[in-house]
Amino acid sequence: MALRIIGWGTGAVGREALRAVLDSRSGLELVGVRVYSDAKDGVDAGALLDREAMGVAASADIDTVLALDADCVVYTPRLTSIDEVCAILESGKNVVTTAFLFHPQRIAPVDRDRVLAAALAGGASVHGCGLNPGNLSGALPLALSGMSRTIEKLTLQERADWSVYDSTAITFDNMRFGAPVEEISVTANDFLAFNSAIFTEQVWLLADALRAGIDEVTADVEAVAAQHDHEIFDHVLRAGTTAGQRWNWVGRREGEPLVEIETLWTVGNEYPRHWPKPRHGWTLTIEGDPSMQAHFMSLASFEREASMLEHVNSANVATAMQVVNAVPAVCAAAPGFATIADLPAVRSLIGFGNT
Ligand SMILES: NC(=O)c1ccc[n+]([C@@H]2O[C@H](COP(=O)([O-])OP(=O)(O)OC[C@H]3O[C@@H](n4cnc5c(N)ncnc54)[C@H](OP(=O)(O)O)[C@@H]3O)[C@@H](O)[C@H]2O)c1
């Protein structure tokens, strides 16, 4: 029998996830959709996903969605809510999410305990993953570490220019690109604090899974001002405002850096001279015996012509598929937390078209 899925959020990532659910070979069935905007309330899910009408009406009413019978919720809102996730878990539905809960053991104990109690009460499990945080900062390094004799330091660098990322609410409202540089800090607003916390959690995940015995993870950010104005979709990023954010989350044991995630993010494509210059995309370096390096990028295709928007969207597809492909394993997992380190390697369900 197909696993029944609710989509919670129909943004760039959520839509890609739900289109995969609609694939008749997926072994998944879409039974509900939670939306936030009034404009989408009551709209048929098919219309939201550029597909034929399918008789599943999206709803902005949480109770209506929670009352549905479903095996798993694909949770991809812009802003997360522990209350919502607890209610979903308590209602007996598993949760896969691209937004948070990547390593719930290391979130604030009060939240951790609530999520765990809700999962146990509902007999459900919760799994957070995606691209980064997710596969590249979790599954991939853990897989490569299988070839390590010793590890001195593990570093993941993400270099990306966000100018072509069309979730501009995240770029400008949440990440505060375009704001004065002095307004960018780890605790400047709830979202930056939240964003920093999820990468901090990811460093803990790797360190815990590799038994690195770190005693702290520090977070630092350097904001860099734009030299020129830039038009980014319907926004203008003004010269002098934030166009670059370099974040470093470093896990240390007795002061020695062992695990680091560094993001080198720009909007407007002005790359600060003094920043490190890995290739665009993600570079994973494991210094040790042996020392290893892997560079990752996703595109719409390496063979056919594709627009920049299609190429950029490939990262949304990757993010979405990482959790959609995990659904059967998460539904089968013991109630509680099912992290990247706990689940068997997540692999494509129907990539080659077979059922
Ligand atoms: N782990 C990773 O690698 C990775 C990569 C990319 C994104 N993400 C995360 O995945 C999530 C989805 O990203 P996205 O690019 O799809 O974002 P997006 O395109 O901005 O989608 C936003 C979604 O959030 C909903 N929303 C609107 N107002 C909201 C509110 N007040 N509270 C909560 N949700 C609200 C929107 O609902 P309506 O459409 O109904 O208005 C929409 O479905 C985000 O949390 C993002 O940070 C993770």
Q: Strands 281-289 and 150-161, how do they pair? A: antiparallel
Q: Check pocket membership of 131 for ligand 1, CB cut-off 6 A.
A: yes
Residue 351 inside a domain? The answer is no
Distance CA 128, CA 265 (A): 23
Note whether 23 and 163 are same-domain residues.
no
Note whether 238 and 275 are same-domain residues.
yes
Residue 302 inside a domain? The answer is no
Note whether 85 and 142 are same-domain residues.
no
Note whether 101 and 71 are same-domain residues.
yes
Determine which residue's CA is closest to atom 1 belonging to ligand 1.
130
**Residue among 45, 32, 73, 76 at smallest CA distance from 317:** 76
Q: In CATH, what number is assigned to the domain containing residue 26?
A: 3.40.50.720
Residue 348 inside a domain? The answer is no
Mutation choice for ligand 1 from 33, 38, 48, 78, CB with most ligand atoms inside 8 A: 78
Note whether 120 and 79 are same-domain residues.
yes
pLDDT level of residue 48 (50, 70, 90 thresholds): very high
Residue 273 inside a domain? The answer is yes
Residues 255-286 pLDDT 10s: 999 999 999 999 999 999 999 999 999 999 99
Residue 45 inside a domain? The answer is yes
Q: Which residues contact 39 (CB under 8 A, 6 or more apart)?
A: none
Residues 204-241 pLDDT 10s: 999 999 999 999 999 999 999 999 999 999 999 999 99
**Is the model's pLDDT at 314 over the cut of 90?**
yes
Residues 127-179 pLDDT 10s: 999 999 999 999 999 999 999 999 999 999 999 999 998 889 989 999 999 99
**Residue among 293, 302, 269, 337 at smallest CA distance from 107:** 337
Note whether 164 and 240 are same-domain residues.
yes
Note whether 109 and 203 are same-domain residues.
no
Strand partners of residue 284: 156, 294
pLDDT of residue 166: 82
> Do 313 and 301 touch, CB atoms closer than 8 A?
no
pLDDT of residue 60: 98
Residue 39 inside a domain? The answer is yes
Tell me the CA–centroid distance for residue 9 and ligand 1, in Å: 6
Of ligand 1's listed atoms, the one at least distance from the Cα of 14 is 16
Q: Which domain, by its residues, includes 75?
A: 3-131+317-337
Note whether 123 and 62 are same-domain residues.
yes
Note whether 12 and 111 are same-domain residues.
yes
Note whether 230 and 96 are same-domain residues.
no
Residue 344 inside a domain? The answer is no
Determine which residue's CA is closest to atom 33 belonging to ligand 1.
79
Note whether 145 and 196 are same-domain residues.
yes
One-letter amino acid for residue 94 of the chain: N
Q: Check pocket membership of 116 for ligand 1, CB cut-off 6 A.
A: no
Residue 49 inside a domain? The answer is yes
Mean per-residue pLDDT over the chain, rounded: 97
SS3 (DSSP) at 150 = strand
Q: Check pocket membership of 35 for ligand 1, CB cut-off 6 A.
A: yes
Q: What is the pTM of this model?
A: 0.96
pLDDT of residue 204: 98
Q: Total structural domains in the chain?
A: 2
pLDDT of residue 354: 76
Note whether 247 and 121 are same-domain residues.
no
pLDDT of residue 355: 64
Mean pLDDT of the 83-89 span: 98
